[in-house]
Each structure stands twice: as C-alpha cells, then as structure tokens.
Amino acid sequence: MSILVFGATGQVACELQRQADVIALSRAEADLSDPQSCADAIERHQPTAVINAAAYTAVDKAEEEEALATVINGDAPAAMARAAATLKIPFVHISTDYVFDGTGQTPWSPQDATAPLGAYGRSKLAGEIGVAQAGGQAAIMRTSWVFSAHGANFVKTMLRLGADRDRLTIVADQFGGPTPAAAIAAAALSMAAQMQSDPTKGGTYHFSGAPDVNWAGFAREIFSQAGLSVDVVDIPASDFPTPAKRPENSRMDCSSLTADFGIERPDWRVGLAEVLSDLAKS
C-alpha cells in the first residue's frame, strides 16, 4: 500500500511518518495555497491511498486571513479529493470539532448540524463539503485538542509555563477530549487500509481521546505526570479573551467510528505519558 500524506512537519504528519512508510509532502512539494499543485502531486505519485494531515491551524490569525485559510482548508482538500476520486483511491481527511458552535453538553455526533463560530471553523467546513462533493471514496475524521511531542500544543505550553511558575490560571468551562496525534495517525492508517479493502467504507466520523475533561483538568494531569508542582486555578473563558471564540463543548460521539472501523477512543492519559517520555528522550 502506497500512502501519500499531505503535511510533513505537523503533529499528525510526524506521527504518520513514525508509524508507516509513507510519502510525506512538504510545502515545497505541494503548496496548499495552490490547490492544483496538490491535485498534481496525487497524479504524479499515483498512490493507493491519500491522507490529508495538513491544514491552516492558526485559529486566531484566521480571523484576519479567512480567504487564505479557506483556500488551504477548503479548496485544497476538495482538489485532493477530486484527484483521488479520479484514481479511484481512498481519501482520508482530518477535520475538526470547530465546525460546530460548541453549545450544550451533549457529545456531538457526525450527523449534527454544523455552525462554525469563526473563520477557522468555516474554512474547515468548506473543506468537508468539498471532499464530500468530490464523488470518490472518502472519510472525514473530525478530531480535537491534538497534542504530541511535535510542534506547538497545549501540553508543551503547559510544560514550558509550569517550569517557571508555581501558579497558573486555566480555562475550566470548555470541555473536550484531548487526542494524541499518534492515535490520530494510527486511526487514519487503519481507515485507509480498510477503505482500500472495502470500497463501501467512508463517511464522516469523530475521533477524540477519553475521558472528556476541561482545560484545567487537562493541565492538572499534565503537571501530575510531569512531576511539576503547579497550582491550577480555574477561570472562565471570558477571563481569557481571544480573537476567535472557542467552542465551550467539544465533546464528540465517536461510536460510529468504532462500529464501522473498530477504532476505539484512546485514553489520552496513556498518550500523555508516552508524549512526556518522548520529550524526555529528546
């Protein structure tokens, strides 16, 4: 199985390269701001499956650069999906919980109505629509709160701040499932393989870590596992304003992914221990 991966340095892309012998395309090899170059790359490499692990992820900056975010997160995945459809190969696209408005407390199901709060969510929703309309065999995997030993993420931020401070104020009224990038990569690889074996498989799915927690609780577990003595003080999101509004409810119903692909929600606390081990080695 020859898997072409869009993205080379992102969290999930790094894990895909650790777990499988994939062809990972850098920005120089496939510029997502030029959707046609992405389609051309698929045609050029002739893979047996494609995983899109690349995206514009600067949530706040997207409020100022929505047009660019929409090209990268919307037009480029649509072009990839059309190229994959032409070759009749599976396409796995990684999306986000930001396509929802984050209201309520019930976990979001893949069939729930979307209503993005900001530019980033709108751009990712545009990508989902484009992928679905491409007409090929595709799976959209919405995930949330991604962390790993690579790049910038909440775990690494907490470790950096916790090394210098003994008290931190952390948002406690936003809930979700932290998701190890390694688990996302493993799920995407499994989905691609199963889709290649069964052309009927595909659709929109959710995948996030368990158990659900708020950011403050996530931070406490990070400090506990890292052996850092930091007092975490709960605050509302209104005390930490950002240009782009974050969803209050990022809980996700992942049952259909388990039913269709046999992929269970990962325990993010186990994934956290593995990430801390990776960071210690590096």
Q: Which residues are catalytically annotated? A: 120
- Which residue has tokens 């600067």? 58
Q: Classify residue 48 by its DSSP letter.
A: S
Please, which residues have CB within 8 angstroms of residue 277's CB and are 6 or more apart in sequence? none
Are 6 and 81 a contacting pair, CB within 8 Å?
A: no
Alpha-carbon gap, residue 173 to 107, rounded angstroms: 15
In one-letter notation, the amino acid at residue 204 is T
Contact of 154 with 145, CB cutoff 8 Å: yes
Give the number of other CB atoms < 10 A from CB of residue 282.
Answer: 7
51 forms beta bridges with 5, 92
